Amino acid sequence: MLDKKYFEGQQNIGEGTRRGEDKILSEMLPWASDEYTATGSNQEVSHGLGITPASVIIALTHVDAAPATATVVSSDAEKVVVNVTIDNKFKVLVF
- What burial letters (b/e) apply to 44-67, b meaning 16+ CB within 10 Å? ebebebebbbeebebeeeeeeeee
Report the SS3 class of residue 25.
Answer: helix
Q: What is the length of the chain?
A: 95
The pTM for the full model equals 0.69
Tens of each residue's pLDDT in the chain, 95 residues: 444 444 444 444 444 444 444 555 545 568 999 999 999 999 999 998 889 999 999 999 999 878 999 999 999 999 999 999 999 999 999 98
**84, 70 Cβ separation under 8 angstroms:** yes
Q: With contact defined as beta carbons under 8 Å apart, do 29 and 55 qualify?
A: no
